[in-house]
Amino acid sequence: MRDNNDLTRANKLFQNSEYDTLNKDCIIVCYELKTPENIGSIIRLASNFGCSEVILIINDEIQRSKKIKKIAGAAAGQIKIVYCNSTELWHILPKDYETIALETAVNSENIIDAKFDKNIVFILGNEIKGLSNDMVSKCDRSVFIPMFGKIKSMNVSHACAVALYAWRSKIK
């Protein structure tokens, strides 16, 4: 059971965090995700890690889902959320951001070894199909999360959490 001293220490840590002063940004792109729960979780994660926005390339049916806002909670009002199609994406992304596909693809780099020196865009793929080869080829590079167990795939929102932690922990 926590006592008041534990809560006081935690509050001080989060109020005076060195992470608040980091000058790097991340944008999350969700490419054709189908599950409102995953989208809501990713919006919440993006807010937790200090990302500036989440771009959703999804169909109209999911766009209207109340589940997305319910899962995202207060984060839905704290972070910019943009809806677009895959063609529009490349016109709205900032030109000085590095685009990184989070995908196990040919020439993907292990996220453990990856460097994140610039402002970045993580592009996350569909829960079943991942990212199309065309989408991966348009990115500056791709990274993968190594799987050490018998299951060689990860839920997209969990993969987002790992990627955001890797990004934040490597910012200098």
Q: Is residue 7 part of a domain?
A: no
Residue 152 domain boundaries: 23-170
Q: Is residue 17 part of a domain?
A: no
Q: Is residue 47 part of a domain?
A: yes
Q: Is residue 11 part of a domain?
A: no
- The fraction of the chain above a pLDDT of 90, given in percent, is 69
pLDDT the model gives residue 151: 86
Question: Residue 81 has what DSSP assignment?
Answer: E
Confidence bin at 166 (pLDDT 50/70/90): very high
Q: Is residue 9 part of a domain?
A: no
What's the gap between Cα 47 and its chain centre? 10
pLDDT the model gives residue 106: 85
- SS3 of residue 54 by DSSP: strand
Question: Residue 64 has what DSSP assignment?
Answer: T
How many domains does the chain contain in total?
Answer: 1
Amino acid at 26: C
Confidence bin at 13 (pLDDT 50/70/90): very low
| pLDDT over threshold 90, residue 64 | no
Mean pLDDT of 42-55: 96
The CATH number covering residue 139 comes to 3.40.1280.10
Q: What is the pTM (predicted TM-score) of this model?
A: 0.86
Higher pLDDT, 101 or 2: 101
Could you read off the pLDDT of 110-158 as tens digits, one per residue?
999 999 989 999 999 999 999 999 999 999 999 999 999 998 889 999 9
